[in-house]
Amino acid sequence: MERIYIGMGSNLAAPAEQLRSAVAALAQLPHSKLVAVSDFYQSDSLLPGQPRYTNAVAALDSTLAPLDLLDALQAIENEQGRERLERWGPRTLDLDILLYGDRLIDEPRLKVPHYHMQERAFVLYPLAELAPADLRLADGRSLTALLAACPFVGLERLTTN
């Protein structure tokens, strides 16, 4: 079993409910155990004119191969009405593999650690709730250093998830 961190986001069709449904689906994945889920956070979209996002991170222990897990996550997205009409467009659900144990993965369909996560407070702060304080990414960067370089700006922690 490897510890995997999954970033979750939604800005359409009752975003908090979308994340709750995704958590329920993650708990049912084969060869996997849902370990924990961060608080939910709201943030502005990276692109103007879109609704605000609700984001969280889930910790999962799994023996699924990385691409098999990616396929399972994309199936969950599709079941929840995800349409891939435009890059970074509004979405009912986005599930991203942020970290997969201590692996560096560079496949055409999957890059781990997740690209740009170091610039996204809506990823780093929920991740920090679940990850060990001394977490180092497979590329050597520490979560502590990433947090220090990415201030908690534009985020609103929601009281319930």
pLDDT, tens digit (0-9, with 9 covering 90-100), for 44-54: 988 888 899 99
Share of the chain above pLDDT 70, in %: 94
pLDDT band at 161 (very low <50, low <70, confident <90, very high): low
Taking the C-alpha atoms of residue 86 and residue 82, their distance in angstroms, rounded to an integer, is: 11
Answer with the residue of higher pLDDT: 1 or 87: 1
Rounded to the nearest integer, the mean pLDDT of the chain is 92
Choice among 52, 84, 91, 157 that is catalytic: 91
How does 125-143 read in b/e, with b if 16+ C-beta sit within 10 Å? Answer: bbbbebbeeebebeeeeeb
Domain positions in the chain are 2-158
Q: Is 96 a catalytic residue?
A: yes
Choice among 96, 103, 106, 139 that is catalytic: 96
Domain 2-158 has CATH 3.30.70.560: yes
Tokens of 129: 């709730």
pLDDT, tens digit (0-9, with 9 covering 90-100), for 60-107: 999 999 999 999 999 999 998 766 666 666 788 999 999 999 999 999
Is the pLDDT reported for residue 11 higher than 70? yes
Q: Is 20 a catalytic residue?
A: no
Q: Is 87 a catalytic residue?
A: no
Q: Is 94 a catalytic residue?
A: yes
